[in-house]
Amino acid sequence: MTKHSVVLIPGDGIGVETSAAMQQVVAASGVDIDWVVQQAGAGCIDEHGTPLPDETVQAIREYKTAIKGPVTTPVGTGFRSVNVALRKTLNLYVNLRPVMSIPGAGGRYDDVDLVIVRENTEDLYAGIEFEEGARDTEELIGFIEAHGKGSISKDSGISIKPISVGATRNIVEFAFEYAEANDRKKVTAVHKANIMKHSDGLFLREAREVARKHEGGIAFDDKIVDAFCMNMVMDPSQFDVIVFPNLYGDIASDLAAGLVGGLGLAPGANIGRECAVFEAVHGSAPDIAGKNLANPTAQILSAAMMLDHLGERDAAARIRNAVRAVYSKGEHLTGDIRRPSRTASEPASCTEFTEALVDELS
């Protein structure tokens, strides 16, 4: 059996609990993992002087695969988001979020099976912003007016939305390659090209260009983002692989997670050419941290994605099947899940849920 080395960043808040649950389930799946434990987040500032120590980044570069629990971003402390820093430092340009119905998980639909591919490096998340009233903001407003590009009220704050040819080609190419490797049928590009011609318009043009190269295999279509939202809510089963610029992808991920039962179920990954970091979509949930109430499903399904990435597809499938079995029996579900009325018992703890899952795997 192959032994894999994987960097584990347990995170903080409920991350500590969901990471431990995830390790137990991966062990029960029979895959041999050597966990290289590294730290990130507010808890390591005292010791390392930074929320993202160099040795953590170095370990991910060395071992190439990591799984991370959520970390808290304290508000108003100047504390840099560890997630954004990791994405930038390691050029993790893909945010991958599969969304699948799990019968018994209280979702609104039983037939969702789609994959969100979100560009992770640019768009309004590039962090290029001009503060209301600042001198450079005034200069920018002056420049825009002088070039006949329109007028902007002097009391405006401005965020810049860059969308490049290179990043668009990379993300759409990834979407097609993912579709081909995972037996998917269609890629849909989502945009607002009718309004933002030079950013979303470019995204759509390049997406079509990449699609042309894949003609004859994976089907391609596109949707304007507002129509996409309505279509998602009315019939999410019509979507397969969906590729987005950064902001729409972020919003669509939570929308999709909500349709199948909520944040406790949504796995994800940040992927670059060299490294991949797997993590749940949810945050550190300070309101329930340390109480053994967290639902570890999202991190466990993130681990299943990680096992696919490591070539351990059988183990990944067994974990997903075990998750489905625990939900369909409905006897050991955590409190965040709308439970079937036949289940009169108290919600299960994180530990009880994990034990039920381990039992299914053994």
The residue type at 196: M
Give the angle subtended at the CA of 187 by the CAs of 186 and 188, to the nearest 5°.
120
- Options 123, 200, 250, 336, the catalytic residue: 250
Residue 192 appears among annotated catalytic residues:
yes
Q: 81: which DSSP letter?
A: P
Using the minimum distance from each CB to ligand NAI, give the nearer residue, 60 or 71: 71
How far is 358 from 26, CA to CA, in rounded Å? 9
Residue 71 near ligand NAI by CB under 6 A: yes
Short-list 233, 276, 226, CA closest to 254: 233
**Dihedral sign, Cα of residue 270, residue 271, residue 272, residue 277:** positive
How far is 347 from 324, CA to CA, in rounded Å? 17
- The residues in 77-136 that bind ligand NAI, with binding defined as CB under 6 A, are 83
Stretch that binds ligand NAI, among 181-189, 284-292, 317-325, 338-346 (CB under 6 A): 284-292
- Options 68, 192, 200, 327, the catalytic residue: 192
Counting residues that bind ligand NAI (by CB under 6 A) gives 20
Pick the binder of ligand NAI from 150, 287, 342, 344 (CB under 6 A). 287
- Options 110, 136, 221, 226, the catalytic residue: 226
Residue 20 near ligand NAI by CB under 6 A: no
Pick the binder of ligand NAI from 51, 107, 264, 272 (CB under 6 A). 264
- Where are the extended beta strands (E) located within 205-282? 219-224, 241-244, 269-271, 276-279
Pick the binder of ligand NAI from 275, 336, 354, 356 (CB under 6 A). 336
Residue 38 near ligand NAI by CB under 6 A: no
How far is 220 from 340, CA to CA, in rounded Å? 38
Which residue in the shown chain puts its C-beta closest to ligand NAI?
283
Residue 279 near ligand NAI by CB under 6 A: yes
Question: What does the block give as tokens for 293?
Answer: 């109430």
Using the minimum distance from each CB to ligand NAI, give the nearer residue, 14 or 31: 14
How far is 304 from 44, CA to CA, in rounded Å? 28
* Contact yes or no for 12/43 (Cβ under 8 A): yes
Q: Which spans of this chain sit near ligand NAI (rule: CB under 6 A)?
A: 14, 70-73, 83, 263-264, 279, 282-288, 294-295, 298, 336
List active site positions.
125, 192, 226, 250
